[in-house]
Amino acid sequence: MEVDQNDKELHKINNLNKQSKELQNIFIDPISLDLIEDAVISSGCGHSFSQDTIESWLTKKQTCPLCHSPLSLSDLTPNYTLRDAIKLYGEMIDNKNLEEQQQQEQQQEHSNQQQLDRSQKITSQLEDIQKQIAYLLQDQQQHVLKNSPVMQQKDLIRELWQKETNEAAILLESTTRNDEFIDYFFGQVSWKQSGTIWYNSKMIEYALKRARVTGMFNKTTNQLTGLMICQPPFEVGVSITQMLKVGMYGAPLKMGIQPLARVLKAFDITDKIHQELTQDLPHWYINCICVQSTDRRLKKGSDLLLSVLQLADSQMVHCYTEISNQSSLQFFQKHGFKIVKTVQDILPFTFYCLLRDPKQIL
Paired residues of 351 in beta bridges: 343
Q: Which residue has the higher pLDDT, 325 or 6?
A: 325
185/180 Cα distance (integer angstroms): 9
- Of the chain, the percentage scoring pLDDT greater than 70 comes to 70
357/153 Cα distance (integer angstroms): 31
pTM reported for the whole predicted model: 0.62
Paired residues of 156 in beta bridges: 217
257/135 Cα distance (integer angstroms): 47
Determine contact, residues 228/304, Cβ cutoff 8 Å: yes
Q: Which residue has the higher pLDDT, 117 or 333?
A: 333
Does the pLDDT value for residue 152 go beyond 50?
no
Paired residues of 285 in beta bridges: 231, 320
Domain definitions of the chain by residue range: 2-137, 140-356
185/196 Cα distance (integer angstroms): 9
263/286 Cα distance (integer angstroms): 18
Determine contact, residues 270/300, Cβ cutoff 8 Å: no
How many CB atoms sit inside 10 A of residue 237's CB? 11
Q: Which residue has the higher pLDDT, 250 or 112?
A: 250
352/350 Cα distance (integer angstroms): 7
Q: What is the CATH number of domain 2-137?
A: 3.30.40.10
166/198 Cα distance (integer angstroms): 9
Does the pLDDT value for residue 149 go beyond 80?
no
pLDDT number for residue 147: 45
pLDDT number for residue 68: 78
Q: What is the pLDDT of residues 96-111, one digit of tens each?
A: 666 666 666 666 555 5
Residue 235: pLDDT band (50, 70, 90) is confident
For 219, what's the count of Cα atoms within 13 Å in the CB-facing half-sphere?
A: 9
Sign, Cα dihedral of 126, 129, 133, 135 = positive
Please compute the mean of the pLDDT values over residues 16-44 and round it to a whole number. Answer: 72
CATH class of domain segment(s) 140-356: alpha beta
Q: CB under 8 Å to 5, separation ≥6 — which residues?
A: 116
Paired residues of 284 in beta bridges: 319
Determine contact, residues 170/177, Cβ cutoff 8 Å: no
pLDDT number for residue 196: 94
pLDDT number for residue 240: 59
Q: In degrees rounded to 5, what are phi and psi of residue 357?
A: -80, 150
Instruction: Look over the chain and give the mean of its residue pLDDT values, rounded to a whole number.
Output: 80
Q: What is the pLDDT of residues 52-73, one digit of tens each?
A: 999 989 998 888 888 778 898 8
Which residue from 306, 132, 127 is spatially nearest to 216, judged by alpha carbons? 306
pLDDT number for residue 148: 42
Please compute the mean of the pLDDT values over residues 250-257 and round it to a whole number. Answer: 87
